[in-house]
Structure 1
Amino acid sequence: MKLSTRSRAAVLGTALASTLALAACGAANESDASSGGSGESAAQLSGDLVGAGASSQQAAMEAWQAGFSGEHPDVQFSYDPVGSGGGREQFVAGSTDFAGSDAALDDEELTAAQERCGGDVFELPNYVSPIAVVYNLEGVDDLNLAPATIAGIFAGQITTWNDPAIAADNPDATLPDTAITPVHRGDDSGTTTNFTDYLSQAAGDVWTSEPDGEWPLPGGEAANGTSGVVSAVGAGNGTIGYADASQAGDLGVVEVGVGGDFVAPSAEAAAAVVENSPNVEGRGQYDFAIEVDRTTESADEYPIVLVSYHIGCIRYDDQATADNVEAFLSYVISEDGQQAAADNAGSAPISDELRQEGQSAVDAITAG
């Protein structure tokens, strides 16, 4: 895929904390002032706002929904964490007003979405979070894994925890001969797309499958949704999986090999790798899809990161839907909305540059 050479200049920093109610109010006022919509006051917004998609966004969505609904109580807001693939399918079919997705639309989906919208589509990278490689192994509290070792485990080539490759990454650990049970998503998942993209970029000699939202190999254990993977890993011994870091809970979390170091997932390290990744070329005016560079050798960057999008139409059929989508996304991309997500989900607040790009799309939302 051809990439742009533009690099983001703004630093993804932490915004000042504020209350959800004040955040929603500020976002709504900004929306009313800059919108191409009706200019109705916040109190007049009503009707339905329906979204579906990435389960990784669920904790952030709870914060966003609380802030938005606190300011717009007459809007009936719902979000179904059905998974990224299901969210994109429902949006393209016209069943929802927007989708949450841990992967940008592919070319075929983009064409279908443009047909559904009757024109431009927006893809806004509003949720940035590390994907943790999580495990449950009795007696092992700390674990380092190089990219090739992770790829070998999930490809079914490394099958016991005392394998020489794992031992080489953990020379001071006492590793049991317990069998490894890899757990992967059973549904079409943007988290899987990002994870397999990492394996492909960082360990292409071992992981030869193309990045895909559907798990490409036989074997292992399948579980639906982020919560399903976390539950399956937690229920076994010798299990390993991948999930949004905010939902890792009490599971062990792998430190991933980057250059000559091992790096733990963090919002700051996830933000840093996104900061140095380019946009995808050839997209529409309001499409800000990112091609994450997962080959970094900087210990300040964590390469297994998901960039989760909100996807919708620039033009909706009715004004109420356009106003509701505009007001919601204005809150989501605001400093307060991003801080609410960071506080509830451990995500990395987007940069000022991403906010400015997103605002250009939000301001363009209209009806007709």
Structure 2
Amino acid sequence: MDNIRHRVPVRPVRFLDALRLHMRDAGLAYTTERTYVHWIKRFILFHNKRHPQELGAPEVEHFLTHLSEERDCSVGTQRIVLNALVYLFTRYLGVELTGLSFTQAKRPRRLPVVYSRSEIAQILSHLSGAGRLRVQLLYGAGLRSAELLSLRVKDIDFGSNNIFVRAGKGNKDRTTILPQGLIADLQRQIERVRILHEQDLADGVGDVYLPGALAKKYPNAAKELGWQYVFPASKTGPCPRTGEVRRHHLHPTALAKQIRRAVKAAGIHKPARAHAFRHSFATHLLESGYDLRTIQELLGHSDISITEIYTHVVNRGSKGVLSPMDSLDHGLSIHPHAGNPAGHEITEPAPVYQIAC
């Protein structure tokens, strides 16, 4: 349950608790909150636990230089750390980091990992049951792993063939397609969830976690089937916010392990990542002729320039762009005068030369 916000005092005494409360009032995502607090804590420890009010731009530069030159942190990590420290000083402490001469390194452009259709079929052949269904949804609906695991029963709309993604990246809602071939498997999975939920209710642990103030607004919603996770965890555990024992959704590490095992068993030498199925979803839609704007809406990208990265990894052969090497066919012949630059008449029929590929 590490994606549930821990409770902090309304009137916090500790510096980091006050910072967490400020981030929550500002509406930052919990993943952003955890990341920022982690790097701000490291920043304070790096400067021998001095209070941030005693620090400024020189100390920020020193810390960033240490990360880039001594710790060999990636460009992406450096940018995250800088964003965290800018939030700390400018938004929380109200201090401008004037004179900050640190220049952010340019993030290298990386192409996404994409599985071919045959590779996806091979991966799925090494999965079964709910594990297979999860990967099918990652690929068939273009979901992020967190979005998949956060799906509730009510988010699957069989009537409109839509999957509702609630509070996705950027805290935005969207809809994506429900693959027709997965309807029967999803209905069976929901039936398994119903049976498990009834057993949890009988055991007194059937209240699922509800975000925000929904538990107060709808007191009985936590016990309803519609709010249960489509892919629940195998065990119950204490909620980090309330301490109440309940069943949360499957942990992301369990999903990652299943994917790694399946990719390895399929003999595929590309990185085994859950997000690669989302990349494959977008790339294969693009290859099938769907426009970028439609794909952007299905993926939930805020800017179409993010979606355009998939134009660099589509199968160019299916779009009519062929390498000149592919035109060297075994049946291609050289013109009879190709070996006769002067153009002299050849009395005997010229032999047909075959080009070896």
TM-score by length of structure 2 reads: 0.23
Greater relative contact order (Cα < 8 A, sep 6+): 1
Structure with the higher helix share, 1 or 2: 2
TM-score by length of structure 1 reads: 0.22
Structure with the higher strand share, 1 or 2: 1
Structure (1 or 2) with the larger CA radius of gyration: 2
